[in-house]
């Protein structure tokens, strides 16, 4: 008798990797989408969130049609019915009251899924056009490079979610940069092959850091050059200084020093651009 019960229990045990497996904590009222309760204007966001949850729970087959309803008499029919009821509950618990009442008579999770897709998965062309138009109005202006890139990335991801077509992200990113990045922008567009938008952000970021370093050195050098006469009473404005066989006035010498330092900084930046990948 005990042996028969053990055999029956073993047969009814569901492997944890099976789509029919339910954990003790699972219940139909679980909300996997947080604030993204389904309403008429957020179907794409809601769908992405709920699909992610169903994949994690190994239950996506109950909505995409790959785990259809089993025939009457199947030994696993009861398992299928339990899981179908659970997924139906997960779907309806993430909807607003109005939408939930409109699908309450759906007998399977698949029926509800198809119904929602037919109702809310409308033509996305107007939304894509709106987002593309928004991108063309975004410029870096007073934003930091990182903040500008992050803002663009958010809109690109939204476009990708509603229309998985090429979106020319690199060109969007480069067009909105400030004029100070004209040189590095030309370098990127002249590259073969043209780098990805992520790699281009890294290149522009390096250029920004190098220029910031060069400007800091330039400021310190300018200050030192123009303070020479203040520290040395002999270097007055009307005095001339002999350098080799040439004589040069103090103002002219100062300008010469500043010009030499600027050229050195420019050369340093060119060298760094070649050395740093």
- pLDDT for 150-200, tens place per residue? 999 988 888 877 766 565 788 888 888 998 898 888 888 888 788 888 899
Domain ranges for the chain: 2-120, 125-275
Distances (CA, A) of 172 to 154, 183, 254: 13, 17, 44
- Residues contacting 117, CB < 8 A, separation 6+: 47
Quote the CA–CA distance of 188 and 178 in Å, as a whole number. 15
| Mean pLDDT for all residues in the chain | 78
| Cα 252 → chain centroid | 52
Beta carbons within 10 angstroms of residue 275's beta carbon: 7
Q: Is the peptide bond before 170 cis (omega within 30 degrees of 0)?
A: no
Distances (CA, A) of 70 to 76, 107, 167: 8, 14, 43
Provide the pLDDT for residue 111. 95
Q: What own/partner pairs with CB < 8 Å and gap ≥ 24 does 241-246 have? A: none
Judge contact between 95 and 42, C-beta under 8 A: no
pLDDT at 71 over 80: yes
Judge contact between 43 and 116, C-beta under 8 A: yes
* pLDDT level of residue 219 (50, 70, 90 thresholds): low
pLDDT at 227 over 60: no
| Cα 40 → chain centroid | 25
Which ranges in 163-196 belong to alpha helices (H)?
A: 169-175, 182-189
- Residues contacting 125, CB < 8 A, separation 6+: 163
* pLDDT level of residue 36 (50, 70, 90 thresholds): confident
What does DSSP assign to residue 241? E
Cα separation of the two ends of the chain:
74
Compute the C-alpha angle 221/225/230, nearest 5°.
135
């Amino acid at each position: 008798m005990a042996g028969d019960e053990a055999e029956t229990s073993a047969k009814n045990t569901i492997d944890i990797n099976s789509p029919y497996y339910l954990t003790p904590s699972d219940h139909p009222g679980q909300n996997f989408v947080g604030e993204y309760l389904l309403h008429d204007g957020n179907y794409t966001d809601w769908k992405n969130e709920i699909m992610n949850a169903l994949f994690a729970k190994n239950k996506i087959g109950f909505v995409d049609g790959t785990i259809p309803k089993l025939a009457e008499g199947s030994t696993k029919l009861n398992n299928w019915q339990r899981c179908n009821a659970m997924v139906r509950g997960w779907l309806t618990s993430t909807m607003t009251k109005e939408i939930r009442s409109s699908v309450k008579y759906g007998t399977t999770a698949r029926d509800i899924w198809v119904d929602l897709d037919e109702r809310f998965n409308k033509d996305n062309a107007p939304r894509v056009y709106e987002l593309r138009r928004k991108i063309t109005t975004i410029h870096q202006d007073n934003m930091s490079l990182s903040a500008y890139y992050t803002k663009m990335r958010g809109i690109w991801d939204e476009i990708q979610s509603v229309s998985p077509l090429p979106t020319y992200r690199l060109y969007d990113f480069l067009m909105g940069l400030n004029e100070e990045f004209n040189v590095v922008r030309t370098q990127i567009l002249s590259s073969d092959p043209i780098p990805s938008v992520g790699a281009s952000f890294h290149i522009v970021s390096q250029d920004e850091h190098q220029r910031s370093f060069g400007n800091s050195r330039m400021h310190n050098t300018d200050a030192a050059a123009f303070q020479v006469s203040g520290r040395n009473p002999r270097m007055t404005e009307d005095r001339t200084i002999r350098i080799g066989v040439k004589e040069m006035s103090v103002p002219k010498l100062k300008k010469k020093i500043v010009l030499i330092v600027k050229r050195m900084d420019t050369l340093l930046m060119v060298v760094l651009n070649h050395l740093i990948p």
